[in-house]
Amino acid sequence: MQSKLAALFIALGCTLTLVSCVTINIYFPAAAAEKAADRIIDEVWQLKKGDQPAAPK
């Protein structure tokens, strides 16, 4: 009974791990991409933090 339960947990763990790996592969990190884009744009447009007037949104 106990070993059955243990096997179940291991199977569950493996499945979740596998699913997580697949998720990493297909998931687009939107927040990280935005940060990267901001860094590049600040460089290209020479926007320094602080000296740009707050743009009304």
Partner 1 sequence: MNAMTKLRVSMFVLALTAAGQALAQANLEINTPAIAGLQASMQQRHSQLAGLYASGAVGLTRDGNVALRDANAVPLAQRQQVNSLVAAENQDRAALYREVARANGKPEWENDIRATFAQRWIQKAQPGWYYQNTSGVWVRM
Q: In the bound complex, what is the minimum distance in angstroms from residue 57's beta carbon to partner 1? A: 8
CB 47 within 8 A of CB 41: yes
Structure token pair of residue 16: 């979740």
Q: What is the dihedral of CA 35, 39, 40, 45, to 10 degrees?
A: 130
Q: In the bound complex, what is the minimum distance in angstroms from residue 50's beta carbon to partner 1? A: 14
Q: In the bound complex, what is the minimum distance in angstroms from residue 48's beta carbon to partner 1? A: 12
Q: Residue numbers of the site for partner 1 (CB under 8 A)?
A: 2, 5-6, 9-10, 12-13, 16-17, 20-21, 23-24, 27-47, 55-57
